[in-house]
A and B are shown apart, each in its own frame.
Chain A
Amino acid sequence: MDIIAQLFAGLSLGSVLLLAALGLSLTFGQMGVINMAHGEFMMAGAYTAFVVQGVVGDAGVSLLLALPLGFVVGGLLGLLLEATLIHRMYRRPLDTLLVTWGVALVLQQVARDVFGAPNVDVRAPAWLSGAVQIGGLALPRTRLFILTLAIVCVVALALALRATPLGRRIRAVVQNRDLAEASGISSRATDRVTFFIGSGLAGVAGVALTLLGSIGPTLGTNYIVDAFLVVVAGGIGQIKGTVIAATALGLMQSFFEYSTTASVAKVLVFVTIVAFLQLRPQGLVSVRTRSLA
């Protein structure tokens, strides 16, 4: 039973990582932008849930409202960042890293000024309190909700990329920007939409995180490194890889923690990933083509 409990804990952690990394798999994985403020978009999503609950009151309604609103808030912040700063430095990754890190610090300070430095709580709805009993195992409803949300987000994103005109356009621009432009596709407009969706997913992740504990201005910093790790280990630009890597990281953390401590487990996870990337620098999933383009 212990193993099953650890398995669930790992999957649950994996689903949180996946939510955090899914947006990055677009903005970093597909577009190559190292956006250090991605975590702060999550934080913005979390505070969106806090504000919505303040206005609406009912925890259930506010959660359901906060999910799409968090997406929009995260997305708009991303859009603003892309339009003002990032699009000027698409070929300068180090500059992007520094600038977006600066933006992350600014956003944290804005959150501190607006909401105060101490953490705040967002109440979980009654239908998410308690646990589902399966056998002798108690599975917290909030964790199950986040797991489901992660699956819904992955499926929605995969479908959007695979089966919609917008998805085709995004994939075309990501693969060959010049060819896309020379085929009549506006790469600027596509970049903006891609960044909106990627950042919006961070907002959704932030809303989900409010179910796991109190939230504060530095909420995002706890997840940003892990999220980048997931995308790199999964194989840049591959959603399938991101899903597998997030699940694997969650499970590893959970099982290492079981036999050691949280900190040692973290170190072991890092070491495992470094070793893995030495063996397979392209990550878990890579793409075969006969041409360079």
Chain B
Amino acid sequence: MLELSGVTTGYGRTMVVHDVDLTVPDGALTAVLGHNGAGKTTLLRAVLGLLPVRGGTVRLAGEDVTALAPHKRVRRGIAYVPQGQQSFGQLSARENLQVVADAHGRAGRRRTDEALDLFPALRELLGRQAGLLSGGQRQQLAIARALVTGPRLLVLDEPVEGIQPNVVTEIYDAISTLTAAGSLSVLLVEQHIGYAVEHAAEFAVLTSGRVAHRGQGGGEGASADARKALAL
């Protein structure tokens, strides 16, 4: 679904991510692990087109999207849940979903309903200003908003960071439900190895902007393997 080859990117003249190769197979979850400052978020921003790629290519389902604007990549099937439970804070929760659904007509409305089925608690909060929701509620809203775009690839940047444990479970359950059908591919960035390594088909460890280690997720030794690569 997603193929990064030799991706180099950064801010201005400072390159943060160097020569990264990474693949997310159709219907699979690929995890990128790394400590703070390893370049994980920078890499995701390049995948989305929020940062220009200085070297290498980004291909989505075989199509080279390296030069496409972010909103065009979204229309081709990439959805992004950025770090930090971001929402359109002054819009209501309902408007946060509507503004995305507007662009997708009837399909957008149907997907809004489906996304709310995934997080039923959000239905009670639709009239609330998004900026006044709790961190966990905002993150659920962010995932729902991403799903309204009708993605083939869901890109999640530390989706449970700073979120209370019971909501963490809900969010991970939702991700599992989404991937279980096999039609959605997921690129998951995490600092913590638990869920990511357990559920990923493959994982990569990023150190100083380079892939320092690759491993297979799910198996018995996977956690130990990832732990060692992260020098934990």
A: which residues have CB within 8 A of B? 165, 168-169, 171-172, 175-176, 178-188, 287-293
Min CB gap A185→B, angstroms: 6
Bound complex: CA A188 to CA B135 (Å): 29
Bound complex: CA A79 to CA B134 (Å): 39
Min CB gap A158→B, angstroms: 14
B82 contacts A291, C-beta separation under 8 Å:
no
Bound complex: CA A179 to CA B75 (Å): 14
Q: Quick one: closest B residue to A184, CB to CB?
A: B74
B100 contacts A291, C-beta separation under 8 Å:
no
B91 contacts A175, C-beta separation under 8 Å:
yes
B145: Cβ under 8 A from any A Cβ? yes
Bound complex: CA A182 to CA B146 (Å): 9
Bound complex: CA A182 to CA B50 (Å): 8
Bound complex: CA A288 to CA B133 (Å): 11
A289 contacts B102, C-beta separation under 8 Å:
no
Pick the contact of B87: A185, A188, A291 (CB < 8 A): A291
A175 contacts B88, C-beta separation under 8 Å:
yes
Bound complex: CA A229 to CA B22 (Å): 52
Min CB gap B153→A, angstroms: 13
Min CB gap A25→B, angstroms: 15
B50 contacts A183, C-beta separation under 8 Å:
no
A293 contacts B89, C-beta separation under 8 Å:
yes
B15: Cβ under 8 A from any A Cβ? no
Produce 1/0 per residue, B69-99, CB < 8 A to A: 1110011000010101111111100011011
Bound complex: CA A175 to CA B89 (Å): 7
B-chain residues with CB within 8 Å of residue A178 when the two chains form the complex: 50, 70, 82
B-chain residues with CB within 8 Å of residue A287 when the two chains form the complex: 89-90, 131
Pick the contact of B129: A180, A183, A289, A293 (CB < 8 A): A289
B102 contacts A291, C-beta separation under 8 Å:
no
B71 contacts A291, C-beta separation under 8 Å:
no
B99 contacts A168, C-beta separation under 8 Å:
yes
